[in-house]
Amino acid sequence: MSEAPGAVPEEPDAVQRALIEWYEADHRSFPWRETTDPYEILVSEVMSQQTQLSRVETAWAEFLDRWPAVADLAAADRSAVVAFWTDHSLGYNNRARYLHEAAGQVVDDHGGEFPTTPDGLQELQGVGPYTANAVASFAFNNGDAVVDTNVKRVLYRAFDVPDDDAAFEDAAAELMPEGESRVWNNAIMELGGVACEKTPACDEAGCPWRTWCHAYETGDFTAPDVPTQPSFEGSRRQFRGRVVKLLGEHDELELDEIGPRIRVDYAPGGEYGREWLRGLLDDLEGDELVETEERENGVVARLRQ
């Protein structure tokens, strides 16, 4: 039977053991789960943000083949890193810029060695609390309990934890065995990814928490709302990516050379014309990916070096 609503088991040993044994017996194989290299893990974490893991596997391997160590990435031309990101449809290009800058920090400020704690890792450019904790956990076994969308869903259903960030953080921390962040965080995220998805597969996946699960006992498998990713097709993000890719193939281009190459209905004075395109370029300039220059014949743009 489950515990009282809103509570994790007071003696969580059996819950912990059941989950770890379930995970170690069989889990999805991803190459970044087979390494403890913090650089390789950081690359996987940044790539995995709102990107399907099937696409990440190929991109991750090719990225590391091109820049196999943090020093290689730090020494790379930023425009090449951004172009790689765009070519592999890995989402917002500023992630590539941040990853490149973080590599430079590791080399210049830390002698090529990654910080080993979540707080230390958060000092790297673009590395937020979740990513820092994931790298600390998976590379150094030195993290806190990870709380992502999958983990929230598991805790909400299994132990009726309220839909509140602080409550999720507390429950996750109570459940994680001390000194076991690497295997525990992998295991609980795996549980949410294969057994406790939006449509649960409790019996099919052999969920190890069915004995304690509030949702399994009551049949109520509701879960917190999950934000949806805006459509990529036709979005400003898609056209920003096209601009970056195009400029990666040319030294510089004028606005009216860029427009028709990224949008078939581009018209200089139209709804999707120079003003619209200049807005995209302003966004990219703000992200320090592109620079523009006013000339007598108009505006030209180039990738920022």
Q: Which two tokens stand for residue 125?
A: 């450019």
* CA quadruple 274, 279, 283, 286: dihedral, nearest 10: 90
Q: Which two tokens stand for residue 22?
A: 């379930």
Catalytic residue, from 21, 45, 57, 180: name it: 45
User: Are 246 and 262 spatial neighbours (Cβ–Cβ below 8 Å)?
Assistant: yes
User: Are 215 and 200 spatial neighbours (Cβ–Cβ below 8 Å)?
Assistant: yes
Tokens 């509701």 belong to 222
User: What element of type H or E holds 302?
Assistant: strand 298-303
223 CB-near residues (< 8 Å, 6+ apart): 152, 153, 156, 157, 198
Is 3 annotated as catalytic?
no
Tokens 């030195």 belong to 142
Active site residues: 45
